[in-house]
Amino acid sequence: MAPAGLRERPFVKALLIAGAVGYVGLLLLLPLGAVLTEALKKGLDVWLAAISTPDARASIKLTLIVSAISVVLNTIFGIAAAWAIAKFDFPGKAPLIALIELPFSVSPVVSGLVFVLIFGAQGWLGPWLEAHDIHIIFALPGLVLATLFVTFPFVARQLIPLMTSQGRTDEEAALTLGASGWQTFWHVTLPNIRFALLYGVLLCNARAMGEFGAVSVVSGHIRGETNTMPLQVEALYNDYDFVAAFAVASLLTLLALVTLGLKTAIEWRHRDQLAAQH
């Protein structure tokens, strides 16, 4: 235990805790409460009706499709990138990692814009796509591309430091014992990284389902067709249909809370298997 002079006096400590709890309560907890109370303002029946309209159901389905595709593709990419970067020595690793993390520092709106500039009606490939009747912008492929961009670094960035710290002795032992490359990956590497992988996938999925700015640019806002759940929230809100907007928003809030709960559970139980060991 630290000597008395290294600790704050009890009332100072109580004051600091109260300040921190007050700040977080006011800034974070209050909006959380606002979503749930606004959504249930007119009762459970109205809430249920609001989330089961055809447009709301279509937006839920679209969100699930877009996030499923994006998460699977970026998980495959993340594992490949971490395998190359962590298990081999080659020049230019640091810039490569910086480029992988680049989407984190790009505005969501710009993340959507880039695909409009390429595939939009007046984009590079616009005329060619139109001539061949291929729809990317204002359609599912555009939503997937924008989501892929914003969720690009999540899995890779979780795995790279962990796999680098684990080194390659385990894999080399497996190979020496006669395992094939894939066997080594499935039976040695994957069990070593499973919690970090789960963690990365969880965060990737939360962002994919909740993304707003990037998909807003490429969606075209066609109700029942190209509106994901966050876009449906905006559409309902702009119609002054606040209860319905908050009802759909409450589903997304539930997703956020489940994500936070799982994330925290992994952090508590498997902290040692999550980050690079010092």
Partner 1 sequence: MPSRVRRSRLPGFGLSLGITILWLSLIVLIPISSVFVKSVSQGWGAFWAAAGSPRALAAYRLSFGAAAIAAAVNCVFGLLVAWVLVRYRFAGRRLLGALIDLPLALPTAVAGIALTAIYADTGPLGRLLEPLGLPIAYRPAGVVVALTFIGLPFVVRTVEPVLAEVSSEMEEAALTLGATRLQTFSKVILPTIAPTLATGFALAFARGAGEYGSVIFIAGNMPFKSEIAPLLIITQLEEYNYAGAAAIACVMLVISFAVLLLLNLLQHWQARRHG
Touching partner 1, residues 153-212 (CB under 8 A): 167-169, 171-172, 175, 181, 184-185, 203, 206, 209-212
Contact 75, 156 (CB under 8 A): no
Of the candidate residues 59, 67, 75, 216, the single one contacting partner 1 (CB under 8 A): 216
SS3 for 16-39, per residue? HHHHHHHHHHHHHHHHHHHHHHHH
Q: How far is the CB of 39 from partner 1 (least distance, A)?
A: 10
The site that binds partner 1 (CB under 8 A) totals a number of residues, namely 100
Q: Please tell me whether residue 140 binds partner 1 under the rule CB under 8 A.
A: no
For residue 126, give Cα distances in angstroms to 119, 122, 129: 5, 6, 5
- Cβ distance to partner 1 smaller for residue 49 or 255: 255
- Cβ distance to partner 1 smaller for residue 134 or 257: 257
Q: Which two tokens stand for residue 277?
A: 């060991």
Of the candidate residues 43, 52, 72, 102, the single one contacting partner 1 (CB under 8 A): 102
* Helix H or strand E encompassing 100: helix 93-100
Q: Please tell me whether residue 58 binds partner 1 under the rule CB under 8 A.
A: no
Q: Please tell me whether residue 89 binds partner 1 under the rule CB under 8 A.
A: yes
Q: Please tell me whether residue 108 binds partner 1 under the rule CB under 8 A.
A: yes
Q: Please tell me whether residue 6 binds partner 1 under the rule CB under 8 A.
A: yes
Site for partner 1 in 236-265 (CB under 8 A): 237, 242, 245-246, 249, 252-253, 255-257, 259-261, 263-264
Q: How far is the CB of 177 from partner 1 (least distance, A)?
A: 13
Cα dihedral 268, 269, 271, 277 sign = positive
Of the candidate residues 46, 69, 118, 139, the single one contacting partner 1 (CB under 8 A): 118
Q: Please tell me whether residue 220 binds partner 1 under the rule CB under 8 A.
A: no
What's the CA gap between 111 and 65, in Å, rounded?
20
SS3 for 184-225, per residue? HHHHHHHHHHHHHHHHHHHHHHHHHHHCCHHHHHHHCCCCCC
Q: Please tell me whether residue 213 binds partner 1 under the rule CB under 8 A.
A: yes
Cα dihedral 63, 68, 71, 74 sign = negative
Q: Please tell me whether residue 51 binds partner 1 under the rule CB under 8 A.
A: no
What's the CA gap between 271 and 269, in Å, rounded?
6
Q: Please tell me whether residue 233 binds partner 1 under the rule CB under 8 A.
A: yes
Q: How far is the CB of 131 from partner 1 (least distance, A)?
A: 19
